[in-house]
Amino acid sequence: MKKYNLEFCFKGSRTYVQGPDIFDAVMATIKNDFDLFQITDIKYAAHDMLLANANLIVTDQFSKDDFDTINSIITFKQDGTKYYAVVFQNDNKIECSNEYSEETVRTQSIVKDKIITFENVLEDSITEITVSMNKYFLQETETKDGKWIVTKFEYPKLINLDKIKNKTLKLELTNNFNNKLTKSIIFVNDEVVGYLYFSLI
């Protein structure tokens, strides 16, 4: 078992840390202990809003009873072993905020039927971009009432920035369970690379 500290900045006027920021921070933190491009079956699940900085424990022996609170869990496999990266809020307040705009995604994405496409010109991670795409898509096609948040995403393997730069990113909505949970397939140049789940709160 390994323990780390995670420090965040809010984005814009948000007062919580988004799933993509948590995921990207965890991957950046564990890269010295794991070969990120050899890990497989990567799954992120949000459990509770993260409102402050956090602790991270990575273990291959997970029990929910060992934690008073859990904000996010990322599971992955390496060399046949399943690992759990557990993120839980600590008492350290987030003291910074970065400017952030989803304007490029919103103005340059194309929505048609159950699909949204975006010709990627950004330097952000695939999770960051596709979460922005899906939020815009669901606001435009389902409802603007309430807040759409990412609850889960899954990748068979990690996708680096080179793989998505100047590529076509596409999401296809495959399921919507009364806005309680939606499921979309993530494509890069028509290759399936993962799945994205949202809920309306």
Rounded to two decimals, what is the model's pTM?
Answer: 0.92
Place 180 in a pLDDT band, splitting at 50, 70 and 90.
confident
Residue 12: per-residue pLDDT:
84
Task: Please tell me the CATH code under which domain 103-200 is placed.
Answer: 3.10.129.10
Contacts of 188 (CB under 8 A, 6+ apart): 126, 159, 163, 164, 167, 168, 169, 170
Q: What is the pLDDT of residues 48-58, one digit of tens each?
A: 999 999 999 99
Structure tokens, 129: 């971009």
Please check the confidence at residue 76 and state whether its pLDDT lies above 90: yes
Structure tokens, 38: 């050899």
First to last CA, the chain: 34
Residue 163: per-residue pLDDT:
86
Structure tokens, 156: 């068979």
The residues spanned by each domain of the chain are 2-98, 103-200
Place 183 in a pLDDT band, splitting at 50, 70 and 90.
very high
- Picking from 165, 184, 166, 164, the residue whose alpha carbon sits closest to that of residue 174 is 184
Residue 179: per-residue pLDDT:
83
CA 29, distance to chain mean position in Å, is 15
| pLDDT-above-90 percentage for the chain | 83
User: What is the mean pLDDT of the segment spanning 24-32?
Assistant: 94
Residue 63: Cβ within 10 Å count:
8
Residue 161: per-residue pLDDT:
73
- Picking from 194, 154, 128, 150, the residue whose alpha carbon sits closest to that of residue 46 is 150
Residue 162: per-residue pLDDT:
77
Place 195 in a pLDDT band, splitting at 50, 70 and 90.
very high
The per-residue pLDDT of the chain, averaged, comes to: 94
Residue 2: per-residue pLDDT:
93
What is the helix (H) or strand (E) element at residue 28, kind and residue range? Answer: helix 19-30
User: What is the mean pLDDT of the segment spanning 81-107?
Assistant: 93
Q: What is the pLDDT of residues 133-170, one digit of tens each?
A: 999 999 999 988 888 999 999 999 998 777 898 999 99
Place 72 in a pLDDT band, splitting at 50, 70 and 90.
very high
